[in-house]
Amino acid sequence: MKAVWKYIATCLGIGLVFPLAPGTVVSALIVLIYKFVLFRLGWVSQALVLIGVFFVGVISASRFSAELRIKDPRCVVIDEACGQLAALFLCPASWGFMAAAFVLFRFFDIIKPYPIRKLEDLPTGWGIMADDLTGGIFAGILINFYVLLR
């Protein structure tokens, strides 16, 4: 069962294969999955996917990081997948909007303005997942606010 949590937490091993910027690689892949698969789903289905990834991410990140004895290992990238999904939630499937969602999410994930950085203090997988989810929500709000103003 340990292998299952490892492969979920590392997004099928992507976090292990790409030692440089694994979160960016996973975020880019999520953009492609959104463009060609998830965008076609209704908002309820998209929300269920996001919620499911979050809770599975909490469990897998908790278990795999405990196995490694590292609080937030770089190879755990399920949090970036979740955050990027949040940034893309209800986003138009145009390359421009998706690129903006990608850049904004990566910005919030790297800079971690308040309260995002504070969420890292949550225990185990909750801290690993919550900061990226919040960064994705911030990015998604900005994208969708812009869409409404257009």
- Residue 123 and residue 72 in contact, taking contact as beta carbons nearer than 8 Å: no
pLDDT of residue 75: 97
The contacts of residue 64 (CB under 8 Å, 6+ apart) are: 2, 5, 6, 9, 10, 73, 76
* pTM summary value: 0.96
The DSSP secondary-structure symbol of 21 reads: S
pLDDT of residue 120: 95
pLDDT of residue 125: 96
pLDDT of residue 39: 96
pLDDT of residue 106: 98
CB neighbours of residue 109 within 10 Å: 24
- Residue 18 and residue 25 in contact, taking contact as beta carbons nearer than 8 Å: yes
Would you list the domain boundaries of the chain?
2-149
pLDDT of residue 58: 98
**Identity (one letter) of the amino acid at 38?**
L
pLDDT of residue 109: 96
Sites in the chain below the pLDDT cut of 70: none
Q: Distance between CA 5 and CA 143 in Å, rounded? A: 32
pLDDT of residue 105: 98
Instruction: Please give the mean pLDDT across all residues of the chain.
Output: 96
The DSSP secondary-structure symbol of 150 reads: -
